[in-house]
Amino acid sequence: MKAEGEEFECAVYLDRLDTVKYWIRNIENKKTSFWLQLPHGKFYPDFVAMLDDGRILVVEYKGAHLFDSEEAKRQISDARADASGGQCLFCMPTDRGFDLIDRTIS
């Protein structure tokens, strides 16, 4: 990840949250990375974080110009989060709307 830009700013935001115990940058196509099945491939969200309360937060940052085309990723991620009984959270902030991360956690 480049040390600039919106995705980097999202990482910095995660890193500064008191409720985040630790987080990782999820690397696409790496054998040990977290992924979700899509109809035509795999989806590797950008970040996976362990929260202090034991829940897992999955974050996929999208630039505003890409957000509308990612409906399938939001649907499959929301379904996974719903099936987790509150143990796995998902959000897809866009356009530097990092406060969505806070709202998802609370």
**33-54 average pLDDT score:** 95
Residue 72 belongs to some domain of the structure: yes
CB 10 within 8 A of CB 47: yes
Residue 47 belongs to some domain of the structure: yes
- At residue 20, does pLDDT exceed 90? yes
pLDDT top residue among 1 and 62: 62
CB 58 within 8 A of CB 90: yes
pTM, two decimal places: 0.91
- What percentage of residues in the chain have a pLDDT greater than 70? 99
Residue 1 belongs to some domain of the structure: no
Number of neighbouring beta carbons within 10 Å of residue 13: 19
Query: What whole-number distance in Å separates Cα of residue 74 and Cα of residue 91?
Result: 8
Counting Cβ atoms within 10 Å, is residue 31 exposed (0-12), middle (13-18) or buried (19+)? exposed
What residues make up the domain containing 101? Answer: 6-105
Residue 18 belongs to some domain of the structure: yes
CATH of the domain at 37: 3.40.1350.10
Residue 30 belongs to some domain of the structure: yes
Structural domains of the chain, count: 1
Helix (H) or strand (E) holding 13: helix 6-16
